[in-house]
Amino acid sequence: MNKEKQSAAQILLAFDFGMKRIGVAVGQTVTQTARPLDTIQAKDGIPNWDAIKKLIKKWLPDALVVGIPLNMDGSDQAISEQARRFAQDLREQYQLTVHEIDERLTTKDARERLFKKGGYKALQDGQVDRVAAQLILQNWFAEN
């Protein structure tokens, strides 16, 4: 995103794709900050599209960011292709720009941050997925 051409604040939703849960975060381009938003249930990698639709309708994002899980050497994991398919489905369903970003270590980082704040209790209820999505979006801001 070219900051000089950016005339108005943009809202972005970020997704931490998983086979059982998809973390969602929201952020905006003025302060380039993000916050955890929600965790959407998925069944065998198929998201609850109604829940995603409600979030998109509520937040009216200008673009979306999807984390692509990669191995430490940058090669694809088994789940990488499913995350890319999810990104493509978002493009097709919502006609929005969908940015894909390397999400290596975001889940690990999210777990560590939450554990420091609240121990094992903080790791429950999909919190890790939401915070991982927040980190994905913050990383995207840092790179763009």
User: What is the mean pLDDT of the segment spanning 30-57?
Assistant: 94
**How confident is the model at residue 1, as a pLDDT?**
40
How far is Cα 144 from Cα 142, in angstroms, rounded to an integer?
Answer: 6
**How confident is the model at residue 125, as a pLDDT?**
62
Question: By mean pLDDT, which of 23-27, 47-51, 120-124 is the weakest?
Answer: 120-124
In degrees, rounded to 5, the angle at the alpha carbon of residue 52 between the alpha carbons of residues 29 and 122 is 75
Per-residue pLDDT tens digits for 96-137: 999 999 886 666 666 666 556 655 555 566 677 888 899 999
pTM: 0.82
- Of 15, 27, 25, the closest CA to residue 103 belongs to 15
- Polymer length in residues for the chain: 144
**How confident is the model at residue 71, as a pLDDT?**
78
Question: By mean pLDDT, which of 70-74, 75-79, 97-101 is the weakest?
Answer: 70-74
**Top-confidence residue, 1 or 15:** 15
How far is Cα 48 from Cα 46, in angstroms, rounded to an integer?
Answer: 7
